[in-house]
């Protein structure tokens, strides 16, 4: 070594001389703190070390293991001068490094980094339970009873080759009381969705955590980890293979970005965003920039815009009310649902695209799975947990796993995923907006049935969406011509597509807008109150007191949506125009899913019970007629039945035919022979 000074001296000098801006000896102080708090780790901010002695810092980066051993002895002797008893009681002192000068992308980790110190950012996707790991094993010789101590470092337990006192070569028994253990945990970190190059599968790497850094992060947490790259041998039929598994032995772990979900904007960029908002047509400009390749679907784009911006979440002492907006698109194949989701996942500052089945075993929520090798349980985070503080786009949500069907309810409303299985008890956060798409079970949407009947999703789940839209693919000459022209022209010339704001600007704008927490004004409160009461009354006036047209959930949805709309204008207050616009949008959504087509009244019952109330009444009348005719004459002739329907109930032939076909589809009635009906029983 060319240096005059030994590593030990250099490190001692660093501890003794490094001062922070206030002139404090940070590390001398930290060592004193260790004694007071009974801690066994000294955390070194690498920036300090680099600033103090760049050469020393570089050597640590290249060979952290050797240096840690030297540094440990320095710290130990410093501890000894402060409190000899405490220093003696420590089996183990950790030197932990944080804040390296440069990070390494998870995707780039490879052979070049073996045994080096690296810093990697990722998201924890699975975590094992915490298990004791023996670092110094004590064995009792079965012949003479002598205790043999052995430091452990490899993957497997090393046993003494021979007893130190009697030369016996086998029959050693581990004595846990005399051995030294530390806590250990294995976690897997994966590339963060926002770091993922388009169209690539996320990479992941296993990380070993030891001692006081176990269990401080959970699946779904975004972390910055420092550690050195270790190789684990693989075994094949002929013995040890030439290839290895790459592992990170963690030195330090920072749970980053629990809140930092947004892009950091420079003051100039913020100015640029304000200029965009100053345009009187800002709302229209934003809308026109949402998925410009998709023609029409204006209300859906509006909903997607509000979902991206989100409302304000309210953490109160007793309850937490989510600010995230959930939107469901249901509809015929080929209506650009998947495309819309794809767009949203890409433009959101933190977006994730998945399918109902989920891309891992954990599906949408989470799973406890048994690990192959050791048989221990590991907790794996699903899509909603990984999308914490972001937007989760779930395509084909109707094809969700059975396990998710139960767990997704609290995930959508309380935004948590509780787990209690295989000895693992945890609550994971899932504070994300959900943009979901579902296909009708029978291929196409049947407007005479409810959403619940059209897709195989429970109604309890549907009520957790703030807005639901139905996309129907009905041939319409004018619209078809326009869509065709749009798609064909775009296919010929990409440049026709020039949205007011490009994707990058949209991302920045959303990030900026999300920092604003608009407040409600009295005028808006009165308007919402008014609307809410009116809607609830509407069904009562309609006759059936039990029919509820709007629930408290929709009221909360109105608030969230109006907050999002104010954010779109970078406004601190919610104005009456926001209230009117979101009421209009809610009305559109309700019409599509809950409108009672016969009376024109909005009837949320349709969401819950199936048929709208008035339709249920009409069908009941038809069934009554069929019943009566069966009882009197034994058979129900088609023409007689229509006759009776129109004379007794004023139901004309075409209406009657519609009800009959619905009853036939339900299987309530059938045709025993042409021209005759019968009730199935």
The region of 282-290, 331-339, 406-414, 560-568 touching Mg ion under the rule CB under 5 A is 331-339
The region of 333-341, 361-369, 505-513, 618-626 touching Mg ion under the rule CB under 5 A is 333-341
In the complex, least distance from residue 557 CB atom to ligand ADP, rounded to whole angstroms? 24
Q: Alpha helices, DSSP H only, in 424-501?
A: 451-454, 459-462, 477-492
* Residue 484 CB neighbour total at 10 angstroms: 11
The region of 19-27, 320-328, 479-487, 579-587 touching ligand ADP under the rule CB under 6 A is 479-487
- 503 vs 509: CA distance, rounded Å: 10
**Bridging pattern class, strands 595-596 and 601-602:** antiparallel
Does residue 354 belong to the site contacting Mg ion (CB under 5 A)? no
CB 385 within 8 A of CB 407: no
In the complex, least distance from residue 571 CB atom to ligand ADP, rounded to whole angstroms? 31
- 30 vs 37: CA distance, rounded Å: 10
Integer angstrom CA distances of residue 422 from 94, 364, 382, 430: 31, 19, 17, 21
Residue 21 CB partners (closer than 8 Å, separation 6+) = none
In the complex, least distance from residue 354 CB atom to ligand ADP, rounded to whole angstroms? 14
The region of 112-120, 330-338, 524-532, 595-603 touching ligand ADP under the rule CB under 6 A is 330-338
Smaller CB distance to ligand ADP: residue 424 or 483? 483
Q: Which of 105, 176, 333, 458 binds ligand ADP (CB under 6 A)?
A: 333
In the complex, least distance from residue 412 CB atom to Mg ion, rounded to whole angstroms? 21
Task: Write out the two tokens for 392.
Answer: 């989760």
Choose the contact partner of 614 out of ligand ADP, Mg ion, none; CB within 5 to 8 A by kind. none
In the complex, least distance from residue 332 CB atom to ligand ADP, rounded to whole angstroms? 7
**Bridging pattern class, strands 467-471 and 327-331:** parallel
In the complex, least distance from residue 337 CB atom to Mg ion, rounded to whole angstroms? 5
In the complex, least distance from residue 493 CB atom to ligand ADP, rounded to whole angstroms? 15
Smaller CB distance to Mg ion: residue 278 or 487? 487
Does residue 335 belong to the site contacting ligand ADP (CB under 6 A)? yes
Smaller CB distance to ligand ADP: residue 23 or 334? 334
Does residue 334 belong to the site contacting ligand ADP (CB under 6 A)? yes
Instruction: Determine whether 350 is exposed, middle or buried from the number of CB atoms within 10 Å of its CB (0-12, 13-18, 19+).
Output: buried
- Torsion-angle region of 422 (φ positive above 0: left; ψ -120 to 50: alpha; else: beta): left
Q: How far is CA 186 from the centre of its chain?
A: 21
- 60 vs 119: CA distance, rounded Å: 13
Helix (H) or strand (E) holding 214: none
- For 466-475, b where at least 16 C-beta lie within 10 A, e where not — what string? bbbbbbeeee
- For 206-215, b where at least 16 C-beta lie within 10 A, e where not — what string? bbbbbbebbe
In the complex, least distance from residue 384 CB atom to Mg ion, rounded to whole angstroms? 20
What residues between 449 and 478 interact with ligand ADP by CB under 6 A? none
Dihedral in degrees, nearest 10, Cα atoms 153, 158, 162, 168: 150
In the complex, least distance from residue 521 CB atom to ligand ADP, rounded to whole angstroms? 37
Smaller CB distance to ligand ADP: residue 232 or 487? 487
In the complex, least distance from residue 287 CB atom to ligand ADP, rounded to whole angstroms? 15
What residues between 268 and 297 interact with ligand ADP by CB under 6 A? 293-297
* Residue 546 CB neighbour total at 10 angstroms: 9
Smaller CB distance to ligand ADP: residue 74 or 352? 352
Smaller CB distance to Mg ion: residue 338 or 415? 338
DSSP 9: H
In the complex, least distance from residue 446 CB atom to Mg ion, rounded to whole angstroms? 18
CB 137 within 8 A of CB 154: no
Residue 542 CB partners (closer than 8 Å, separation 6+) = 599, 601, 603, 613, 614
Choose the contact partner of 527 out of ligand ADP, Mg ion, none; CB within 5 to 8 A by kind. none
Q: Which of 192, 337, 560, 611 binds ligand ADP (CB under 6 A)?
A: 337
Q: Which of 339, 529, 537, 627 binds ligand ADP (CB under 6 A)?
A: 339
Task: Write out the two tokens for 63.
Answer: 């060979």
Smaller CB distance to Mg ion: residue 290 or 561? 290
Choose the contact partner of 455 out of ligand ADP, Mg ion, none; CB within 5 to 8 A by kind. none
What residues between 297 and 326 interact with ligand ADP by CB under 6 A? 297
Count of positions on this chain that bind Mg ion (CB under 5 A): 1
- Torsion-angle region of 653 (φ positive above 0: left; ψ -120 to 50: alpha; else: beta): alpha
Smaller CB distance to ligand ADP: residue 203 or 486? 486
Count of positions on this chain that bind ligand ADP (CB under 6 A): 15
Q: Which of 182, 483, 555, 657 binds ligand ADP (CB under 6 A)?
A: 483
Residue 369 CB partners (closer than 8 Å, separation 6+) = 126, 361, 362, 377, 378, 380
Choose the contact partner of 335 out of ligand ADP, Mg ion, none; CB within 5 to 8 A by kind. ligand ADP
Smaller CB distance to ligand ADP: residue 131 or 293? 293
- 16 vs 19: CA distance, rounded Å: 9
* Residue 565 CB neighbour total at 10 angstroms: 26
Residues that bind Mg ion (CB under 5 A): 338
Residues that bind ligand ADP (CB under 6 A): 293-297, 333-339, 483, 486-487
């Amino acid at each position: 070594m060319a240096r005059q000074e030994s590593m030990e001296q250099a490190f001692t000098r660093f501890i003794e001389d490094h001062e922070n801006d206030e002139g404090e000896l940070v590390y001398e102080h930290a060592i004193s703190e260790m004694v007071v708090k009974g801690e066994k780790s000294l955390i070194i901010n690498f920036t300090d070390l680099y600033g103090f002695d760049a050469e020393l810092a570089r050597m640590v980066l290249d060979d952290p293991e050797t240096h840690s051993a030297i540094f440990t002895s320095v710290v130990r002797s410093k501890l000894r001068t402060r409190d000899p008893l405490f220093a003696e009681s420590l089996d183990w002192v950790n030197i932990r490094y944080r804040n390296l000068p440069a990070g390494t992308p998870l995707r780039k980790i490879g052979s070049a980094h073996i045994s080096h110190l690296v810093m990697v950012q990722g998201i924890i996707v699975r975590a094992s339970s915490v298990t004791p790991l023996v670092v110094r094993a004590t064995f009792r010789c079965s012949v003479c009873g002598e205790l043999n101590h052995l430091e452990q470092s490899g993957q497997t337990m090393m046993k003494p080759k021979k007893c130190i006192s009697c030369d016996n070569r086998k029959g050693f028994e581990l004595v846990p009381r005399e051995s030294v253990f530390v806590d250990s945990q294995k976690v897997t970190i994966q590339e963060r969705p926002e770091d993922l190059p388009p169209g690539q599968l996320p990479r992941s790497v296993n990380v070993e955590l030891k001692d006081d850094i176990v269990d401080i992060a959970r699946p779904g947490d975004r972390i910055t980890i420092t550690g050195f790259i270790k190789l684990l041998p693989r075994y094949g039929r002929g013995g040890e293979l030439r290839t290895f598994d790459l592992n990170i032995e963690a030195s330090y772990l920072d749970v980053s970005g629990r809140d930092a979900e947004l892009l950091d904007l420079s003051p100039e960029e913020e100015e640029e965003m304000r200029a965009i908002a100053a345009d009187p047509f800002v709302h229209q400009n934003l809308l026109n920039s949402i998925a410009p390749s998709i023609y029409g679907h204006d209300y859906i784009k509006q909903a997607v815009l509000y979902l991206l911006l989100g409302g304000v979440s309210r953490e109160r002492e007793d309850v937490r009310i989510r600010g995230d907006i959930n939107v469901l698109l249901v509809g015929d194949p080929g209506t650009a649902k998947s495309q819309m989701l794809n767009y949203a996942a890409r433009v959101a500052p933190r977006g994730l695209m998945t399918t109902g089945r989920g891309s891992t075993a954990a599906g949408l929520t989470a799973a406890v799975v048994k690990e192959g090798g050791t048989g221990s349980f590991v907790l794996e985070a699903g899509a909603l947990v990984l999308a914490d503080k972001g937007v989760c786009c779930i395509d084909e949500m109707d094809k969700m796993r059975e396990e998710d069907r139960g767990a997704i309810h609290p995930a959508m409303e309380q935004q948590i995923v509780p787990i209690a299985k295989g000895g693992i008890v945890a609550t994971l956060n899932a504070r994300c907006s959900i943009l979901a798409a579902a296909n009708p079970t029978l291929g196409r949407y049947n407007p005479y049935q409810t959403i619940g009947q059209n897709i195989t999703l429970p109604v309890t789940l549907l009520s957790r969406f703030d807005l639901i839209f139905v996309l129907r693919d009905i041939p319409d000459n004018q619209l078809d011509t326009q869509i065709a022209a749009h798609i064909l022209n775009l296919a010929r010339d990409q440049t026709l597509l020039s949205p007011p704001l490009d994707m990058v600007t949209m991302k920045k704008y959303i990030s900026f807008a999300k920092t604003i927490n608009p407040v409600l004004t009295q005028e808006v409160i009165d308007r919402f109150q008014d609307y809410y009461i009116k809607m609830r009354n509407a069904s009562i006036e309609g006759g059936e007191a039990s029919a509820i047209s709007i629930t408290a959930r929709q009221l909360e949805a109105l608030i969230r949506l109006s907050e999002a709309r104010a954010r779109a204008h970078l406004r601190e207050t919610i104005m009456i125009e926001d209230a009117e616009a979101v009421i209009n949008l809610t009305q559109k959504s309700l019409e599509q899913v809950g409108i009672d087509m016969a009376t024109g009244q909005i009837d949320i019952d349709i969401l819950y019970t199936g048929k709208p109330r008035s339709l249920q009444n009409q069908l009941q009348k038809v069934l009554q007629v069929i019943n009566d005719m069966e009882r009197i004459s034994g058979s129900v002739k088609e023409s007689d039945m229509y006759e009776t329907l129109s004379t007794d109930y004023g139901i004309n032939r075409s209406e009657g035919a519609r009800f009959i076909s619905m009853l036939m589809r339900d299987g309530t009635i059938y045709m025993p022979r042409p021209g005759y009906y019968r009730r199935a029983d």
